[in-house]
Structure 1
Amino acid sequence: MPVVVWKADLKFYDGGWKYDLLDYTENHSKLGYIHNAYRVLLTRGRDWVILYFPDIWELNSTYEYFRNAGFIELSGLKN
């Protein structure tokens, strides 16, 4: 079962996907690689995929997007 650790380089907010351009201002071709990397990682699990979101406020709306899409929160894993 694959585990995907979500970074703040791709976020869902204001009704769409946004890239964090701070790290990629000089090479915009990397944006396509970011999008494709997440697409590939999310489709690797035959039955399941685990998404891990670090506890940072920038990812709150992305986390909620996946919860609303039907992803189930694993309970009992918080510190």
Structure 2
Amino acid sequence: PGWVGVSHDTQGSRDIIHLFSYSSAQNTAGVTLEYKGAVKKAWSISPGQEGKSIVPFTTKGGVAVLKIANLGVYKIIVLEKN
């Protein structure tokens, strides 16, 4: 597994999570994020990707757990809050 950097911003009723990989030579697989709060919808976009992709998540005890299947160099995760 490679190193993954994370940055977070809030824009109104959305939280934006920026993920970036320190290893451009390979995809990083199986990234799990835990977010404390209610999430209505989660989606992602990254360079070279057409449109947005739905990010699956589960919620337990007020924490949303998101599973990112793969991460190239950079990916933005958008969490739409309730």
Question: TM-score scaled to structure 1, two decimals?
Answer: 0.28
Q: Which has the larger radius of gyration?
A: 1
More strand by share: 2
More helix by share: 1
Question: TM-score scaled to structure 2, two decimals?
Answer: 0.27
